[in-house]
């Protein structure tokens, strides 16, 4: 029954290899992305954020604030502007990301136990810098606040040890789980590379049916007595096999050479990648089945593949998206894949939770392949 399948698979593999543009995209794209992103995110965290300090008080107390700022690794004092206007110009030109303005009478207000405000300006044009800078400044302000509070209690006659215990009776200790060092590479690199991979796979799968949608092609298929099922089943096996072969060196480099974390078994992760590859290919096949030509199929595929990473909730939580949009995000297989990657790579919550990811991706594949078969059947009926 399937004697013709090896010949069809060989034919499809030849066509994929003959297409130089597609071949280079599939072979080079994911690997190039891996080296690029590993280079970009090789430093585990953002530190030494350029900071400017405007000291309008010039007192021992203000110098203590500057010392605390120097002691944090995340901030690096680059200059000391004389006034707020100079600080504003430095931030506008991007020469500093953080500005700290210590007001006049800072030491006097502290001594008199008055509330005093130290202005902290953070360049919000770069969200990544701004988030890290805000966290670093918060740490410094906590330390300074604790020191001033303890000194105030001591001034009121309380013993130093008692003052410290009274002011710091509750200690909040932060602890990051699953990515303790908050390493950007652990969180982003693999997902960004697999995003390139899925776009390349989508581009290839969108050619599955539309490549045969010519009168000459269908007449040849009809004359050979080959069923459409065997034809596209054989073609799909080749595509999915190529997709998996292309991702293997990416995984080897990511987990073995670059030591990115993988908290589940490699077999489980490969099976998850396989079910996603099948689901993604089914979506591309569906697009291919109703597209009028290869150009349109590629356009439809890229319209879905390009924004799917952002829609997936990996970089911006789905819960923070508009409520009407949230159900739409879960329609795409990419959403289930990238959400699952985060669980598998960093957490591995177990099969009881993750089996629904396999199930949904499998159901998506069945649905898309079924619709593709229906559209293809209608198209093929024209040549009977």
pLDDT tens digits, residue range 288-313? 888 888 888 888 988 899 899 999 99
pLDDT over 60 (residue 224): no
Q: Are 37 and 54 in the same domain?
A: no
Name every residue whose Cβ is closer than 8 Å to that of residue 138 and which is 6 or more positions away in sequence. none
Of the pLDDT bands very low, low, confident and very high (cuts 50, 70, 90), residue 212 is low
Model pLDDT, residue 215: 43
Q: Are 274 and 369 in the same domain?
A: yes
Identify whether 5 is part of a domain: no
Q: pLDDT tens digit string along 28-67? A: 878 888 888 888 777 767 788 889 999 998 888 888 888 8
Model pLDDT, residue 60: 86
Residue with the bigger pLDDT between 340 and 168: it is 340
Model pLDDT, residue 228: 65
Residue 53, helix vs strand vs coil: strand
114 by Cβ neighbours in 10 Å (0-12 / 13-18 / 19+) ranks as exposed
Identify whether 249 is part of a domain: yes
- Range among 38-47, 99-108, 221-230, 252-261 rated most confident: 252-261
Number of domains within the chain:
2
Identify whether 176 is part of a domain: no
Q: Are 29 and 156 in the same domain?
A: no
Q: Are 221 and 118 in the same domain?
A: no
CB of 52 within 8 A of CB of 90?
A: yes
What's the average model confidence in pLDDT over 70-98?
88
Q: Are 198 and 135 in the same domain?
A: no
Domain residue limits at 218: 11-41+184-383
Residue with the bigger pLDDT between 230 and 196: it is 196
Name every residue whose Cβ is closer than 8 Å to that of residue 97 and which is 6 or more positions away in sequence. 49, 50, 51, 91, 122, 123, 126, 129, 130, 133
Identify whether 248 is part of a domain: yes
Q: Strands 49-55 and 75-79, how do they pair?
A: parallel
**Mean predicted lDDT score pLDDT of the chain:** 82
Q: Strands 49-55 and 119-122, how do they pair?
A: unpaired
pLDDT over 80 (residue 2): no
Q: Tell me which of 167, 201, 236 is where a domain ends.
A: 167
Residue with the bigger pLDDT between 383 and 241: it is 241
CATH number at residue 133: 3.40.1710.10
Q: Tell me which of 167, 199, 232 is where a domain ends.
A: 167
Q: Are 241 and 300 in the same domain?
A: yes
Of the pLDDT bands very low, low, confident and very high (cuts 50, 70, 90), residue 1 is very low
Q: Whole-angstrom Cα distance, residue 152 to residue 149?
A: 5
Of the pLDDT bands very low, low, confident and very high (cuts 50, 70, 90), residue 175 is confident
Q: Are 31 and 59 in the same domain?
A: no
Residue 323, helix vs strand vs coil: coil
Q: Are 136 and 225 in the same domain?
A: no
Q: Are 236 and 321 in the same domain?
A: yes
CB of 5 within 8 A of CB of 234?
A: yes
């Amino acid at each position: 029954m399937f004697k013709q399948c090896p010949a069809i698979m060989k034919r499809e593999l030849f066509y994929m290899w003959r297409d130089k543009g597609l071949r280079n995209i599939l072979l080079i794209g994911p690997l190039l992305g891996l080296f690029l992103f590993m280079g970009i995110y090789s430093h585990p965290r953002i530190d030494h954020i350029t900071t400017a300090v405007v000291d309008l008080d010039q007192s021992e107390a203000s110098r203590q604030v500057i010392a605390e700022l120097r002691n944090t690794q995340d901030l690096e004092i680059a200059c000391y502007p004389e006034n707020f206007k100079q600080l504003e110009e430095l931030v506008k030109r991007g020469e500093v990301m953080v500005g700290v303005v210590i007001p006049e009478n800072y030491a006097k207000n502290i001594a008199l136990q008055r509330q005093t405000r130290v202005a902290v300006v953070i360049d919000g044009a770069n969200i990544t810098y701004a988030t890290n800078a805000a966290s670093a400044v918060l740490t410094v302000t906590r330390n300074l606040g604790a020191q001033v509070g303890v000194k105030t209690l001591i001034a009121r006659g309380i013993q130093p040890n008692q003052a410290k215990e009274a002011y710091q009776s509750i200690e909040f200790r932060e602890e990051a789980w699953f990515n303790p060092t908050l390493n950007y590479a652990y969180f982003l690199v693999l997902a960004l590379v697999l995003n390139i991979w899925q776009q390349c796979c989508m581009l290839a799968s969108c050619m599955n049916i539309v490549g045969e949608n010519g009168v000459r092609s269908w007449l040849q298929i009809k004359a050979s007595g080959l069923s459409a099922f065997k034809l596209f089943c054989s073609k799909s096996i080749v595509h999915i096999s190529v997709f998996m072969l292309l991702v293997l060196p990416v995984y080897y480099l990511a987990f073995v050479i670059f030591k990115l974390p993988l908290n589940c078994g490699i077999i489980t992760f490969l099976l998850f990648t396989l079910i996603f590859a099948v689901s993604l290919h089914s979506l591309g096949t569906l697009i291919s089945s109703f597209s009028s030509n290869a150009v349109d199929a590629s356009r439809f595929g890229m319209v879905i593949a390009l924004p799917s990473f952002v829609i997936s909730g990996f970089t911006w939580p789905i819960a923070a998206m508009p409520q009407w949009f949230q159900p739409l995000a879960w329609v795409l297989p990419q959403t289930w894949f990238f959400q699952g990657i985060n669980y598998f790579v960093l957490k591995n919550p177990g099969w009881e939770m993750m089996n629904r990811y396999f199930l949904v991706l499998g159901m998506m594949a069945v649905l898309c392949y079924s619709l593709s078969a229906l559209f293809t059947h209608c198209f093929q009926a024209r040549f009977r």
